Structure 1
Amino acid sequence: MDNIRNFCIIAHIDHGKSTLADRLLERTQTIKITEGQMLDNMDLERERGITIKSHAIQMEYKHNGQTYILNLIDTPGHVDFSYEVSRSIAACEGALLVVDATQGVQAQTISNLYMAIEHDLEIIPVLNKIDMPSAMPDEVEDEIIDLIGCKREDILRASGKTGEGVDDVLKAIVERVPHPVGDTKGPLQALIFDSVFNSFRGIIAYFKIENGEIRKGDKVKFFNTGMEYVADEVGVLKMDMVPRQVLGTGEVGYIISGIKDATEVKVGDTITHVNRPCDKAISGFQEVKPMVFAGVYPIDPSEYENLRASLEKLQLNDASLTFSPESS
C-alpha cells in the first residue's frame, strides 16, 4: 500500500486536463500517444473538448529506486456530473488542481475543489499552458494562492502541450499525495465509482478497495441493492483491462460478474463479501436525482423494444439517466 498513489485531476472545461493526463501517461510509458486525447475516446468528447465519461488508468513510475503505482481516476469535466465527480474524488487521496495560465481560476474549478477539500484530499496546484503567449503566470498564481492558501513554491508550472514540468508533477504526486490507508485483514469494502457496458461481458464495475481484498471467484454482494454475484474476473485498468488473481486494500480495479441489468450497478455502492460482509456501506451513496425531463418515442411503433434496449445501454454509461416505459 505504501507505494500506491490514487489521484484525480480537477479543472474547468478546456483548461488542458486531458492533454496533461496524456503527457503523464506518455512519461510513465503507459501508452504511446497516437492522436488526440487518449482518455477522451468518445467523438463528442473530442469535438467539444469536454470529458464526459470518467476513466481510471494505472501508471508505474520509478522514483528514488522505488516503483510506485499511480492510479489516475479521471473525473467528468462538467458540473452536471457533480455526483459522479464526488464518487471519483472519494476514491482518491490527492488531486491535481489544474488552472489555465491564460484564463485563471474559473467557477467549476472552485466547486470541484471544495468537494476535494471536504474529502481531505491533498491538493497539488498546477499552472498549465505556460507556453502560451497570452499566459499570465504571476497573476494566476496569485489567484491560486488566494483560493487555497498555499505557498508560491508549492505551485507547479507545466505545459501539457510541450511536456514541460510534467516530471515535476509526477514527482509531486509521489512525494505529496498520501498512500491509501485501510485494514488489509478486515472484511471487504470497495467503493464503485463508475461502470461501463460491454456487449459480450455485461456490466463492468470500476472500484477502489477501502478495506480487505477481493479474489477471482469470490462471492460478492452489492450493499445498497442487496444483489449477490460471483467475481468471474477482477483486475487492474491500464489502457486495457489486465486480469489479476487478487486485489488488495488501496488498489483500483474492475470486476466482471455477468451483470446484465443496468439498475443493479449504482455508482457509490459498496462491494463486500457474501460470507464475511462489512458492517456498513461506505458513506456518501445516494440515488441520482434527474434534472431534465423528456418524453421519447419511436416514429415506427415496431421500434419500441429497440428504443427500450438502447436506453438501457445508455443508462449503463450514464448513471444519472432514469427512465420508465409508458404506453399511451
Structure 2
Amino acid sequence: MKNIRNFCIIAHIDHGKSTLADRLLEYTKTIAEKDLQDQVLDNMDLERERGITIKSHAIQMEYVYQGEKYILNLIDTPGHVDFSYEVSRSIAACEGALLIVDASQGIQAQTISNLYMAIEHDLEIIPVVNKVDLDSARPDEVEDQIVELLGCKREEIIRASGKTGQGVEEILAAIIERVEPPKGDVDAPLQCLIFDSVFNSFRGIIAYFKICNGRIRTGDKVKFVATGKEYEADEIGVLKLDMVPRDELLAGDVGYIISGIKTSREVKVGDTITHIDHPCSAAIDGFEEVKPMVFAGVYPIETEDFENLRSSLEKLQLNDASLTFQPESSAALGFGFRCGFLGLLHMEIVQERLDREFNMDVITTVPNVSYKVYDKKGGMIEVHNPSGLPDPTLIDHIEEPYIRASVITATDYIGPIMTLCLGKRGELVKQEYISGNRVEIIYDMPLGEIVIDFYDKLKSISKGYASFDYHIHDFRESKLVKLDILLNGESVDALSTLTHVDNAVTFGRRMCEKLKELIPRQQFEIAIQAAIGAKIIARETIKPVRKDVTAKCYGGDISRKRKLLEKQKKGKKRMKQIGSVEVPQKAFLAVLKLD
C-alpha cells in the first residue's frame, strides 16, 4: 500500500488540466503510441467539441521511481463552476491534488474555490504553473500570486508545460515524494466508497469505488449499505484506458465492480460497499446532497415518449449525480419532468446528452430558481415553478435565494462589472486587490437574476478575463410578482416567470416583442399579452394571413364581393375560437437570451 498514490488535478476552466493529464499518461507509458490523442481522458464527443471536461475521469498509471514501482491513480476533474460537484467527489477519493494555474492568466475564481475544497479534505497541494512555453506567460508574477494564496515556498512550485512536456517528470517525482500513501487496514472489514457509476447496456451498472479498508475478491458476496441490496462481485478490476479485470483489490486501490445491477435506483454515489459475512461497523461519510441552483421543465416533444424520457434521465443521473428530477405536468406541454441543474451550462449539456446518447427530442422551459413562499398563517412552501404559486391574496411575503458571488478581474474592467452587478440588484460586500492589477469583487446577488444571462454578459464586458464563482448564501425577502404570458387570452404556463416588481414591465414588453418575431402567422389574429394578475402590462398583435377570396369576382355587382368577404369574416371568427397557437421551441430558448 505504501507504493500507491491517489491524486486529482484541479484548476480553473481552460488552464490545461486535460493536456497535462495526457503528458502524465504518455510519460508513464500508460497509453500506447497509437492511442495518443489530445484530451485522451475526455471520451465524450461533447467534451471534445467544446474543449471542456464535463465528467471526472479516473485512470491508473504505473511509474518506476528510484528503482521502485509505484501505482498512481489520477482523477482529471472539470474546471467549470457548473460541474463543481464532480470535483468535490473526486477530491473525496484522493490524498493529494495538483493545483494548476495558467502562466498567462494567473489565479482565477474557480482555482480558489476548488483549492478551498481540497484544503477542507486535508489534501496535499502541489502547485504547478502551466503553459510556461507561451509568449504571454508571466511565471514570476503567477508564482507570487500562488505564494500569497497558499503560503508555500517558492521552490515548491513546479513550472511545467502540457504542450512540450517540460516539468512532467518533476511533477511525477513530487507526487511520489509529497503525497501520502492512502491510510487503511487490509485486514479490517471491507469498506469501499462509490464515487461514480456508469450504465452499460450489456453489463448493467458499473460502479467505481475507492477501497478505504479491507480487500475484495472476484465472486465475493457484497452489500451496498445505503440501499441494503446484496450482490455477487462478478468482476472487479482497475481503470486503465479500458477496464482491466483483477482477482483481488486491496485497501488504497481505486477500481470498478460489475455485479449485474439492472436498475439505477440501486446505486447511489457516496454509498459504501461491504461484505455480507463481515460487514463494517459504520458507513463512510459520503458526499453532501447536491443542491440544484436552476430548475427547468424538460418535456418530450411527442407525449408518448414520456416513459422513454424517464429511463433516459435515470441512466443519465447515474453518470451525473448532480442532476435531480421529479415528474410534473403543464397545460401547454403535457407530461414531463422538473429538473434541477447546477447552472445554465449544466442544463445545456444535459439537453445535448439526452439528444445524442438517448435520441430524445425535448423542450426545455424557462429556467427558474426555488423560492420560499410564506402565507398569512405563517406556513411556508417551496416553489420551484411559477405555476405552483398560491393565490396572491394568501401570500404574506416571498423569500428568494441570494448568492455570494466572487468576481476576479483586471482593474480596467471594474466599472462595467459593477454596473452589471448593480443592474442585477447586487449589493457590494467588499473589494480587495489580490496582486498587481487583479481585484476580487464580492457581491450578494439574487440567484434568479444571474441564472439567465449574467455569465455571458460578464465574459463579454471583460473581454473574457473576468472569472466568476458563487455559492448559495441565504434567503431574503423580495417584492416578486408572477408575470404571465397570454396568447389569445390563454396563459402559457411554460413561459410564466417570477420576476422583481421593478423589472416586470420592461421584461414583459421585451418578451412580447420577441414572441411576435418568433411565432409564425396564422389565418387569424393572435394577441400576445404580458400580465401581472389581471392587469395587462404589454401587448403585441400578430396580423393574420389572408387569402384573397374576391379574386374570382370581377365585374358585376359589389354585393357579390361583399357576400364572399362576409363569409370569410365568419370563418375567421370561428377559427379564432377553436384555433390553437403553436409555440415553437425557439421561443422558449429566446426568452433566455432576450438581450
Bucket of the pairwise TM-score, normalised by the shorter protein: over 0.9
TM-score normalised according to structure 2 size: 0.54
For residues 174-193 of structure 1, what are the structure 2 equivalents within 5 Å?
174-193=176-195
TM-score normalised according to structure 1 size: 0.96
Note if 1:24 corresponds to 2:31: no
Q: Deviations over 1:162-186 (max 9, x none)?
A: 1111111111111111111111100
SS at structure 1 position matched to 2:89: helix
Identify the residue that residue 13 of structure 1 maps to in structure 2.
13
Tell me if structure 2 keeps the 8 A contact 1:55–1:74. yes
Q: CA deviation at 1:326?
A: 4.3
Which of 55, 64, 77 is 1:75 aligned to?
A: 77
Identify the residue that residue 66 of structure 1 maps to in structure 2.
68
Which of 254, 262, 265 is 1:263 aligned to?
A: 265
Flag the structure with more relative contact order, 1 or 2, with Cα contacts below 8 A and sequence separation at least 6. 1
For residues 101-120 of structure 1, what are the structure 2 equivalents within 5 Å?
101-120=103-122
Aligned partner letter, 1:24? L
Distance in 2 between the 1:298 and 1:83 partners?
Answer: 27
Distance in 2 between the 1:75 and 1:11 partners?
Answer: 8
More strand per residue: 2
Distance in 2 between the 1:51 and 1:183 partners?
Answer: 34
Q: Deviations over 1:197-247 (max 9, x none)?
A: 111111111111010011111111112222221111100000000001110
Distance in 2 between the 1:214 and 1:78 partners?
Answer: 35
Q: Deviations over 1:119-148 (max 9, x none)?
A: 111111100000000000000000000011
Q: CA deviation at 1:292?
A: 2.3
Distance in 1 between the 2:289 and 2:166 partners?
Answer: 42
Count, aligned residues: 328
Tell me if structure 1 keeps the 8 A contact 2:3–2:181. yes
Larger radius of gyration: 2
Q: CA deviation at 1:192?
A: 0.9
Q: Return 249-258 or 218-227, whichever deviates more.
A: 218-227
SS at structure 1 position matched to 2:18: helix
Identify the residue that residue 147 of structure 1 maps to in structure 2.
149
Q: Deviations over 1:238-259 (max 9, x none)?
A: 0000001110000000011111
Identify the residue that residue 94 of structure 2 maps to in structure 1.
92
Tell me if structure 1 keeps the 8 A contact 2:22–2:38. no
Distance in 1 between the 2:288 and 2:222 partners?
Answer: 21
Identify the residue that residue 163 of structure 1 maps to in structure 2.
165
Tell me if structure 1 keeps the 8 A contact 2:55–2:86. no
Tell me if structure 2 keeps the 8 A contact 1:268–1:285. yes
Identify the residue that residue 227 of structure 1 maps to in structure 2.
229
Distance in 2 between the 1:272 and 1:81 partners?
Answer: 29
Aligned partner letter, 2:318? L
Distance in 1 between the 2:307 and 2:193 partners?
Answer: 33
Identify the residue that residue 395 of structure 2 maps to in structure 1.
none
Structure 2 residues without counterparts, runs of 5 or longer: 330-334, 336-595
Q: Return 291-300 or 215-224, whichever deviates more.
A: 291-300
Distance in 2 between the 1:246 and 1:34 partners?
Answer: 29
Q: Return 137-146 or 291-300, whichever deviates more.
A: 291-300
Tell me if structure 2 keeps the 8 A contact 1:93–1:179. yes
Q: Deviations over 1:284-323 (max 9, x none)?
A: 4333333222222222223222222222221121112222
Q: CA deviation at 1:78?
A: 2.3
Structure 1 residues without counterparts, runs of 5 or longer: none
Tell me if structure 1 keeps the 8 A contact 2:193–2:286. no
Identify the residue that residue 249 of structure 1 maps to in structure 2.
251
Tell me if structure 1 keeps the 8 A contact 2:13–2:78. no
More helix per residue: 2
Identify the residue that residue 294 of structure 1 maps to in structure 2.
296
Distance in 2 between the 1:119 and 1:101 partners?
Answer: 26
Q: Return 39-48 or 57-66, whichever deviates more.
A: 39-48
Note if 1:54 corresponds to 2:49: no
Sequence identity of aligned pairs in percent?
Answer: 78
Q: Return 247-256 or 115-124, whichever deviates more.
A: 115-124
Q: Deviations over 1:73-99 (max 9, x none)?
A: 222322233333222111111110100
Identify the residue that residue 456 of structure 2 maps to in structure 1.
none
Aligned partner letter, 2:25? L
